[in-house]
Chains A and B, each alone.
Chain A
Amino acid sequence: MPKDAIGPIVQGQGISLTIDGQAVMGNKGQTILEAALAHDIDIPYLCYNPRISKTGACRICLVRVNETMFKTACTEPIAPDMRVVTEDPELTEIRKGILEMLLAEGDHNCLYCDANGACELQNLVMRYDAAMPSGDFPRRHRTIDEASSKGLKRNEDRCVLCGRCVKACAEVQLNNVWQFTGRGGNTHLTSDLDAKIGDSTCVNCGTCAQLCPTGAITLQPVLGRGANWDLKKESSICIYCGVGCKIDFFKNKGGQLVRALGHPDGPNQGHLCVKGRFGFDFIQKPARLSKPLIRENGAFKEATWDEALDFVAARLKEIKAQHGPDAVAALTSAKCTNEDNYLMQKFMRAMVGTNNVDHCARL
C-alpha cells in the first residue's frame, strides 16, 4: 500500500505499541494492520485493501493481542501499550485452517487460472503450506461466466468471498453492480438482479478485477497473453481525458500489451475507467502508420524519412517565401507531450515566423 495512505505521525496523537516485540508508533484511529504495514511488518490478509472500507471477513489477518485475545489486524484499532504478536504456532494453525477451508470451498487450479503467479491466495497457500483439499467435503458449484462480458471474466469457483469486488464497485466505481446474495455456504456473487455480467449495468471499469485477490474476476485479454511472472511493468499516463490517470502497463515477452492496472499514486488513486483499462491496444494495431508517406499523383507512396522531411521543409520554405510566414499554420496537439507542444510553437514562431499555431483546446 502507498505509505502516504497512512501519513506521518500526528504530533500528540501518536500511540506506541509493540508488534512482535518491536516498538512501533502509530496514529490514533489506525488499525494494527495499518501500523504494521507502515513499519514493513508483514501480516497476511485477503479481504483488506487500502482502497476500500474494512471488512474483517476473511479472518486471515488474525493476530494475538495482549497474549490472550485474537483480533483481526485489519479492524482492530491500535491502543497504547498494546502487545501484538503476528505469528505463533497457534496463529499459523488458524491461518492454515482458514486457507484449507477456502481451498475446499472453491476449485483452485492454478494451471488454468489467469491469476497464477499474481494470486494473493496462492502466495498464502505456499506460505502456510496449506494442504490440497481431500475432496471429503462437497463443493457448491458457482457461476463461471467467461464470455458474456467484453471486459470481465468471472469464475466464482476461484472466489474466496472476500468482498473486495463488491466494495470496489460500491466505493470506488460507485456502480454497485456486484453484491453477495444467498447465505452461508451458498453465498455467492450476483450482478444486478442475477444478470450475466455482460448483460448487467457494469461499465467495465475493471476495478473489481484489479482488486480481486484471486482469479475469480479477471480482465478479458486485450492483445497479448503471457504468464504473470514473464510480464514487464512500466507506468505512464492515460492518453484519453484530462484526469491524467497513472497506469501500470504490462507487456509480455513478445512486447505485446497484456493489461493495464490503475496506479495508486496517480490522481486516479488506482482507479481507471473502461478507456484507461481497455483502450490501449490501438497502439499495436497493424493499421498503425509505419513509414512516411508522400502523395504522388493523388496516391500515397512510401518514402524515407529524409525524403519526407526534405519535402516538407522545402515546400514550407517555398510557401513562406512566396506568401509570407502567415500563410503557414500549424495545429499542435492535446495528445502530445508538453515537450512536443513546446517545440511545435517554438518552430512556428521562431523558424516559420508566425503565431498561427493552435490546437483543439476548444473541441
Chain B
Amino acid sequence: MMNRETVSRIVAARGTGRENLMMVLRDLETLSGNNQLSPETLEHVAEEMNLPASAISGFVGFYTMFSTRPRARYVLRVCKSGPCHVMGSGTIFGALEKYLGIRPGQATADGLFFLEKCECLGVCSVAPAMMVNYDLHGNLTEAKIKDLIAAYRAKTPTAAEQSGPEVEGRACVIRSEGQTKRLLETVGRVDPSSIDSFLQHKGYAAVRKALAEYTPEQVLQIVKDSGLRGRGGAGFPAGLKWSFIPKGDMPKYVICNADEGEPGTFKDRILMEENPHLVLEGMLLCGYAIGAATGYIYVRGEFRRAIDRLQGAIAQARAKGLLGQGIAGSAFHFDIFVKEGGGAYVCGEESSLINSMEGLRGYPRFRPPFPAGSGFRNSPTTVNNVETFASTPLIVLNGADWYKSVGTAKCPGTKLFCLSGRLNRTGLAELPMGTTLREVIETHGGGMKDGGKFKFAQVGGSAGGILAADLLDLPLDIDQTLQAGVTLGSGAVLVCGEETCPVDFLLNILSFFDHESCGQCTPCRVGSAQLHHLARKLAGRKAAPGDIDRMVEKALLMKKASLCAMGQSPILPVTTMVRNFRQEFERHGHPDHNCPACDRTLQRLYRAE
C-alpha cells in the first residue's frame, strides 16, 4: 500500500506540475511491488499535485501501461502486433498458459506473474517478443519461455532488470553487403555509454562547425537544400517544417518523436541505444536553426534501455559543455530532457505527443493551430522523428550535395529499413531511398525463411499498404510508393509467406487500430471498432455478403472524416489487402471454409475478445 508520504516524496522529486504526471505515476507503479496504481494512491497524487481527481483517472485510463487493479510483481506483456503475429506469438500465449496456468488478464496465485497482451514492443526483428516489467525478450520459443519463467522466479526482487542480449541494438543490425551506411556507420564501433567514444567518431563536429561557421539561417538552408524528408512516416520536408517556426524571442521547443510504436518499426530504438549523441546533436542543430533553447525527447515508456542511454548521454554532454549554457563556448544555449510515454500508439502523432507531454490524455489536437505556431505549452514547437534528427549532423557536416548523392531525386539520402517476418535475416538495414522490395528481401533479408514462398509484404507498419508479388520491383521511396497506392511510412518491411493468412493478418491489423484509437473523434472511435468486428466476423467464417465492401466503406468514411492521421490509416491496409486477396477473403465468408493458416492463431489469440 502506498502511503501519503511516499507519494509526497515522489511528487516532490519529479515536480508538482502536471507535465510530471507520467513520471510520478510510473515511479509509483514501480514502487507498488505489484504494478498497480491503487485508487488510494491516485487520490494522494491528485491532492499532492493539486490536480482534479478526474484528470488522474482520465490519464491513467488512457495509457495502457498503467493499471488501477493489482497485477503482480512481474507483468508479462506479450506482443501480438503484426511481426509477432506472423512469427507465431499465438504459441507464446499457449506456452505461458502451459507453464503458468494463466491467460491474458490473469495473475498467478503466487502474485509473481500477470499476463497481458500488448501491441508492438519495437523489437520486431526478434519476434515473437515479450516484455517482463521493463525487460525485453525476443526470439521466444516454448523452451525459452520455460527458462525465462524459471529465471524470474529465482530472481530477487531487487536484482537489476535486464533485457535479453538478442534485443541489444547492435545485434539487430543486419550485416549484409551493399548497404549505404551513414546513420549506422559507427554503430558497433561507438560505445554508446561514452561521449568520448562518440567524440572520436566526429561526434558533435557538426554542431561545432555550425556554431563556428554558420548562422542559424544557413543551417536551416543546408537542411532545406539537402531535401531531407521526415523519417517518421509522413515524409514532410524537414527544413520546410523548421522554417514554419516563427522568429522572435518567445520560448520555442524542439521535440524528438521517439514514440516508435508503428508495428514492425525499431529503427529509432536502435539509433537511441547505439548512437544517442547523434540524436542529441541533431536536436541541437535544430534548436540552433530555429532559435529554441529547450528540447525534449519523447520516448515510449517501453524503451528502458534507450531512455537510460539517452539520460546518460545527456548528462555527459552537459558535463562537456555540449548541452546547457553557452554550448561549445558559443552564445547558444540549449538543453534536452527526456519525457516518457505510457503505452499509446496515437502519441506518435505529434499533437497527441504534445498533449501527453503536458500530462493530458494523448488526444490529437485539431489544426490549425499547428505545433509550429502553438505546440508544447502553446509555444512554437517542431516535432521530428529520431531518424530525421540523426540525419542532420551528417548533412551539416558533409553538405547537402553529399546527402543528395544517394537516394532518388525527390527523396534523397538513405532510409533505415526495418526487416521483420518470414526472412532469413531480420533487422535493420540502411539503404538508399528507392531500393526495391525485391532487393530488400533477397539481398539484405537473405530471402524467404526456410525457402518459403513470398506472399505479401506490409511496408510502413500497420498503417502501411500490402505489396504482393506484382510490386516487388517498386522502388521504395516516399513518392513512388504513394503513386503505387501504398506507402513507405516508417520503413517497416514485414514479409509474409504462405503460412500467413491475409484475412487473419488483416484482423490483426484492425484489432490493433481498435485497441489504439484514442476515442476522441467519432469516425475513428466507432469505425475502428466496427472494422475490427467485421474482420472478426470474416475470420470467424461468420461474414455476411457485403461485409467486405462494408469494411472498405467504413474505412473510407474514416479516411474522409477523422480528426487525425490515425483514423485515416485503416483504409490503406484494408483496400490493398482486399485488392490483392479478394478471393481469399470471400472464401473466408463461407462457414465451412478451411484455412489452416488462420485456424492456428484464431482461437488462441482472439478468443478473449
Contact = CB atoms under 8 A, between A and B. Distances in A.
Given A59-B523, A101-B522, A177-B52, A190 B560 contact: no
Interface in B419-458: none
Given A57-B563, A94-B561, A98-B561, A182 B519 contact: yes
B6 interface: no
Interface in B496-537: 514-523, 525-530, 533
B605 interface: no
Contacts of A105: 525-526, 529
Contacts of B518: 183-184, 187
Contact of B54 (A94, A160, A178): A178
B57 A192 contact: yes
A122 B39 CA distance: 38
A55 B366 CA distance: 8
Interface string A42-81: 0000000000001111111010000000101001110000
B517 A181 contact: no
Contacts of B58: 179-181, 190
B353 to A, nearest CB: 16
B61 A182 contact: yes
Contact of B527 (A57, A101, A181, A193): A101
A183 B366 contact: no
B191 interface: no
A358 B12 CA distance: 55
Contacts of A220: none
A184 B529 contact: yes
Nearest to A59: B561
Interface in B7-61: 39, 42-43, 46, 52-58, 60-61
A183 B561 contact: no
Contact of B519 (A60, A75, A183): A183
A85 to B, nearest CB: 14
Contacts of A55: 366
B529 A94 contact: no
A194 interface: yes
B586 to A, nearest CB: 19
Nearest to A54: B366
Contacts of B46: 193
A144 B500 CA distance: 43
Contacts of B560: 62, 70, 94
A57 B518 CA distance: 11
Contacts of B562: 59
Contacts of B129: none
B9 to A, nearest CB: 21
Nearest to A176: B52
A183 B55 contact: no
Interface in A124-171: 136-138, 160-161, 163
Contacts of B55: 176, 179
B2 interface: no
Contacts of B255: none
Interface in A236-287: none
Contacts of B526: 101-102, 104-105, 185
B520 A104 contact: no
- Which of B39, B55, B561 gathers the greatest number of chain A CB atoms within 10 Å? B561
A105 B525 CA distance: 9
B92 interface: no
A191 B530 contact: no
A97 interface: yes
A192 B560 CA distance: 35
B344 interface: yes
Q: What size tier do the contact residues of chain A reach?
A: 35 or more
A62 B517 contact: no
B300 to A, nearest CB: 16
A58 to B, nearest CB: 6
A133 to B, nearest CB: 11
Nearest to B63: A183
A56 B54 CA distance: 22
A76 B369 CA distance: 9
Nearest to B562: A59
Given A72-B366, A185-B514, A177 B54 contact: yes
A109 interface: no
Nearest to A180: B58
B557 interface: yes
A91 B514 CA distance: 25
Instruction: Tell me the interface secondary structure of chain B in the complex.
Output: helix
A186 interface: yes
Interface residues of B, number: 43
Given A62-B561, A138-B533, A161-B525, A183 B61 contact: yes
- Which of B367, B516, B563 gathers the greatest number of chain A CB atoms within 10 Å? B563
Contacts of A94: 557, 560-561
B366 A193 contact: no
A333 interface: no
B520 A57 contact: yes
B361 interface: yes
A160 B521 CA distance: 10
Contacts of B563: 56-57, 59, 72
B62 interface: yes
A187 B52 contact: no
Given A70-B561, A183-B344, A102 B519 contact: no
A201 interface: yes
B54 A193 contact: yes
A349 B533 CA distance: 81
B105 interface: no
A33 B61 CA distance: 32
Nearest to B524: A184
A102 B522 contact: yes
A194 B526 CA distance: 23
B596 interface: no
B545 to A, nearest CB: 13
A185 B517 contact: yes
A193 B519 contact: no
A184 B516 contact: yes
Contact of B61 (A136, A177, A181): A181
B248 interface: no
Nearest to A195: B53
A181 B60 contact: yes
B39 A161 contact: no
B523 A98 contact: yes
B522 A161 contact: yes
A201 B522 CA distance: 29
A154 to B, nearest CB: 14
Contacts of A177: 52, 54
A59 B521 contact: yes
A72 B56 CA distance: 30
B521 A57 contact: yes
A193 B517 contact: no
A166 B52 CA distance: 12
Nearest to B60: A181
B507 to A, nearest CB: 15
A97 B526 CA distance: 11
B534 to A, nearest CB: 9
B57 A181 contact: yes
Contacts of B366: 54-56, 72, 75
A184 B515 contact: yes
A192 B530 contact: no
Contacts of B52: 175-177, 179, 192
Given A57-B563, A179-B55, A183-B517, A101 B523 contact: yes
A185 B513 CA distance: 10
Given A94-B557, A104-B526, A185-B525, 5 more contacts: A75-B366, A177-B52, A178-B54, A181-B60, A187-B519
Q: Which 3 A-B pairs have the closest CB atoms?
A: A181-B61, A187-B519, A176-B52
29 contacts: A54-B366, A56-B563, A57-B520, A57-B522, A59-B522, A60-B522, A70-B561, A75-B367, A97-B523, A97-B557, A98-B522, A98-B523, A101-B523, A161-B525, A176-B55, A177-B54, A179-B54, A180-B361, A181-B60, A183-B61, A183-B518, A183-B519, A184-B515, A184-B528, A185-B517, A186-B519, A190-B61, A192-B53, A193-B56
